[in-house]
Amino acid sequence: MLFDTHCHVNDEQFGEDLEATMERAKTAGVQYMVVVGFDRPTIEKALKIVDFYDNTYASVGWHPVDAIDMQDEDLAWLEELATHPKVVALGEMGLDYHWDKSPKEVQKEVFRKQIRLAKKVNLPIIIHNREATEDVVTILREEKAEQVGGIMHCFSGSPEIAKKCLDMNFYISLGGPVTFKNAKKPKEVAIQVPMDRLLVETDCPYLAPHPYRGKRNEPAYVKLVAEQIAELKGISLQEVAQQTTANAKKLFGIE
């Protein structure tokens, strides 16, 4: 029984065969998933999906790349959505210095606003970080994000940074990259982070695990991530599945 804590089956790449994708996930033992929306269209689509499929939940937020587009009414809309029974987190939110569509200062402000909202509505947060680790950690600390905690999504940092995040009440979520041959840091993180603080995800349709690297990713492949963690930790797949699913349910307040 696996929990894909971060997927985008709301992406248009799943338009044609969403039902078959959900079926394959079930067959692979993926019982739960969180569908992540990060702007108006993807949030609306995520809500449609979670209204239709059992054991699917939504996270709603504003992506840092598009921070410059977020208006006050968008933030108010996120607050409204926080009361939806299947919305279990806010995000993805954070900082992305790889793309320069939104200036850093705007990204930081939009990130802070969403953390404050999460504390107001008492939901955990899902963090997107690309090439901005130091500023992400600083803002999480300054905004006292540990009050709600959350997930460092598709974590790619060092074990030292992972430790800092654990100390702030965050879980570490690993995705496809942990299965890549030359991915030293994610493998090291998988070994060092205790089982009760690890989660698994796909971030599909992106970041497909080996041997599907470069192809469209999908929730069924989260099993390959869990298998890799089991191998690295020297425990069974069943143990990884059981513990990561229990962690996710606890964090999202499911059951």
For residues 201 and 153, what is the distance between their CA atoms, to the nearest angstrom? Answer: 8
Nearer to Ni ion by Cβ, of 58 and 232: the residue is 58
**In whole angstroms, how close is the CB of 235 to Ni ion at the nearest point?**
27
- The CB-of-127 to Ni ion minimum distance in angstroms stands at 10
Chain mean position to CA 60: 11
Comparing CB distances to Ni ion, the nearer of 143 and 203 is 203
Question: Which H helix or E strand runs over 96?
Answer: strand 87-96
Nearer to Ni ion, 206 or 231 (CB): 206
DSSP letters, 61-76, are ---GGGGGG--HHHHH
Residue 239, class by beta-carbon neighbours within 10 Å (0-12 exposed, 13-18 middle, 19+ buried)? Answer: middle
CB of 13 to Ni ion, least distance (A): 13
Cα–Cα–Cα angle for 150, 151, 155, nearest 5°? 155
Beta carbon nearer to Ni ion, 9 or 137? 9
* Residue 239 CB, nearest approach to Ni ion (Å): 26
Nearer to Ni ion (CB atom), residue 153 or residue 232 = 153
Q: Measured from the CB of residue 41, what is the shortest distance to Ni ion in angstroms?
A: 15
Positions in the binding site for Ni ion (CB under 5 A): 203
∠ CA 248-194-170 to the nearest 5 degrees?
Answer: 50
